[in-house]
Chains A and B, each alone.
Chain A
């Protein structure tokens, strides 16, 4: 592929992703680089909203490839993830071809000969034309390669995991009637998980394991900078510092990067020049998604703002 940018080094990955607005830490860049070099899927774990799905999108945009997404849920099965036979089309074709059948079988003298002729004919209905490719098969059939995102794998059943194993290790699937379909170009596979349940060892073994946690303060500032360009540097520092203080609390759901970005947008919309107690208390519901969490954080707001301001002086 001429237009496919080979990531020659980890820095190239980092800057490539940055050009798409995804600020990657060194670990993330290393994982992406390695997954391309040794052709392994990446299993991304971490709390919700730290940019797991976003990573796949950024890779697809950066390398100019199509992204195919498979959202997992309980009860997801082969027919919805891999392929399905187009039953209606098969039926319709048999109806239309009914008249032809007489011609085909007309020459046969005995029942046995007719059956033989029918056998040659039968395979027509189980051919490529009648297969409806679902995301996994689609991903293998992309001539230019693609980014296959298998989102929230922990939501699916354990049986579905086993279904994935063949694809993940060999980039191929077996359809009993057709044989094995191998990938034209091995896709870049990203699996994401919120660790709702433990994934099987067999699945984990086939993947590079990447854990994305909450970013460091500097990195988070850069992320906000790239996503919300309108925000002033002083406010950015202050708000990121504030969020880092919030994360030290024992809350039901800690605010993650997506909440930080939302909050930054809100602050820009409200034309806030700096954090003060009132504006924070009014917009706390953007950061925290549970009433109990908001109640727990509210009394601390003033102290946290002061702390964030202080860390700015030294940091």
Chain B
């Protein structure tokens, strides 16, 4: 049973519950106290010791239910009504075959697997499957393509070879018994297949999830498929949580060793300026202030969507964010994003300014006219867009003024570096006034970009 618990811990890790060795020891001790007799209590105990949040409890509860539901070999005897009658029905043929040794081989001469199958002992078969899956190390299964190989490994471990020999012999001597054995073997194969599928669901999830996240992190945001949008949102939330954890704690940093003469003199005025108490220079740190200008036209819209979601999930780190969206003209969208769910907010933004052909020049004019006062020397301005202005006047002079008024101007461009400056891209002209220009096409690049921006305030 201890082996089973270990396998359960692996399965638990698969569903995203972090089970450390210390926690598994606790769980073992708890299980030792409560025993295995009451399933509900066992479930509660494991949930208490292993899961450390409400989400984990839900996930682990499901995992527990899946883990402890053993697939059983199906009994496809037509007369089987319920368990009681099937037991009796099983008894009769086996006893009759035993009482008629003249007709063929007695079951004693068959291999153990054949005997087990013929006796239709469900518990024994289930136990044999379980132990064979242990031998075949089913818990190492990673990909769905491995299902076949693991099934055959389990069957081999159960003694399929011997069963085949038995079958060959029986076909010659006792065709009726052979037929029954064949049917039982089919049922067994099915049961093993179910076991392997269950194993895949239990143990392979972690790996599959990691792989999928890895792919998702490096997928171009602009060309993401509709069904993946929800997953991507979840990933962005994860990134936001990570950044929050990293940057939300104000790190105490003092610049020691530099005497603040002015403050020292003032503090010691009472002693006639004799410096009894010293004051040291402190490093003044700005609170992050961000003004984000996001292009929501065409292909950039999706990237802007994820970017806005990320920047607005960073409340603990940056509480002062003003966001603006534009394609042909520019509006402020901060309030929309604060009040609504990201899906609603985005669809409303799109209905207001989206789907137009982008005009960077007039959007910058809009910004200068109404919102220039939002910029202070502590502000980081982030522009997210492909800088494709449809050959209209780019008004780079406004961008220069924005850059002069703010602490930093960061341009995030979803297009690859190679495409900058070709066609109607105005990127090189804008880039002159930017502190940083970087490509930002995938979730990973987005995370790095935002992380760098926040880090400058630390």
B56 → A minimal CB distance (Å): 8
A45 to B52, CA, bound (A): 10
Give chain B residues whose Cβ lies under 8 Å from the Cβ of A30. 34, 41, 44-45, 48
B14-25 Cβ-contact flags toward A at 8 Å (1 or 0): 000010101100
Chain A's closest residue to B50 (CB) is: A209
**Do A211 and B57 contact each other (CB < 8 Å), given the known contacts A34-B33, A204-B52?**
yes
Give the contact-size bracket for chain A: 10 to 19
A10 to B49, CA, bound (A): 16
A204 to B53, CA, bound (A): 9
Chain A's closest residue to B29 (CB) is: A38
Q: Is A209 a contact partner of B45 (Cβ separation < 8 A)? A: no
Give chain A residues whose Cβ lies under 8 Å from the Cβ of B40. 26
Q: Is B54 a contact partner of A205 (Cβ separation < 8 A)? A: no
A210 within 8 A of B: yes
Q: Is A45 a contact partner of B54 (Cβ separation < 8 A)? A: yes
Q: Which one of A37, A45, A209 lies within 8 Å of B33 (CB-CB)?
A: A37
Give chain B residues whose Cβ lies under 8 Å from the Cβ of A37. 29-30, 33
A208 within 8 A of B: yes
B226 within 8 A of A: no
Q: Which one of B22, B23, B41, B54 lies within 8 Å of A10 (CB-CB)?
A: B41
**Do A34 and B52 contact each other (CB < 8 Å), given the known contacts A26-B41, A26-B44, A205-B22?**
no
Residues of B in contact (CB 8 Å), total 22
A-B contact count (CB 8 A): 53
A30 to B22, CA, bound (A): 20
Give chain B residues whose Cβ lies under 8 Å from the Cβ of A208. 26, 48-49
- CB within 8 Å of A: which of B347-371? none
Give chain B residues whose Cβ lies under 8 Å from the Cβ of A201. 18, 52
A204 to B22, CA, bound (A): 12
A305 → B minimal CB distance (Å): 31
Chain A's closest residue to B30 (CB) is: A34
A20-32 Cβ-contact flags toward B at 8 Å (1 or 0): 0000001100110
B141 within 8 A of A: no
A158 within 8 A of B: yes
Q: Is B54 a contact partner of A34 (Cβ separation < 8 A)? A: no
A40 within 8 A of B: yes
B14 → A minimal CB distance (Å): 19
B285 within 8 A of A: no
Q: Is A38 a contact partner of B33 (Cβ separation < 8 A)? A: yes
Q: Which one of A34, A204, A205 lies within 8 Å of B45 (CB-CB)?
A: A34
B36-49 Cβ-contact flags toward A at 8 Å (1 or 0): 00001100110111
Give chain A residues whose Cβ lies under 8 Å from the Cβ of B33. 33-34, 37-38
Give chain A residues whose Cβ lies under 8 Å from the Cβ of B251. none
A45 to B44, CA, bound (A): 16
Q: Is A205 a contact partner of B44 (Cβ separation < 8 A)? A: no
B283 within 8 A of A: no
Q: In the complex, which of the residues A30, A158, A201, A204 has the most CB atoms of chain B within 10 Å of its own CB atom? A: A30
Give chain B residues whose Cβ lies under 8 Å from the Cβ of A45. 53-54
Give chain A residues whose Cβ lies under 8 Å from the Cβ of B49. 34, 208-209
A187-221 Cβ-contact flags toward B at 8 Å (1 or 0): 00000000000000100110011110000000000
A213 → B minimal CB distance (Å): 8
Q: In the complex, which of the residues B18, B40, B54, B249 has the most CB atoms of chain A within 10 Å of its own CB atom? A: B54
B437 within 8 A of A: no
B204 within 8 A of A: no
Give chain A residues whose Cβ lies under 8 Å from the Cβ of B249. 158
B47-75 Cβ-contact flags toward A at 8 Å (1 or 0): 11101111001000000000000000000
B117 → A minimal CB distance (Å): 41
Q: Is A205 a contact partner of B48 (Cβ separation < 8 A)? A: no
A210 to B26, CA, bound (A): 15
Q: Which one of B20, B30, B54 lies within 8 Å of A38 (CB-CB)?
A: B30
Instruction: Give 18 A-B contacts (CB < 8 Å), ordered by A residue.
Output: A26-B40, A26-B44, A27-B47, A27-B48, A30-B34, A30-B48, A31-B44, A34-B45, A34-B48, A38-B26, A38-B29, A40-B26, A205-B22, A205-B52, A208-B26, A208-B49, A211-B54, A211-B57
Q: 8 closest pairs, A vs B, by CB?
A: A204-B52, A37-B33, A30-B44, A38-B29, A208-B48, A209-B52, A34-B30, A27-B44
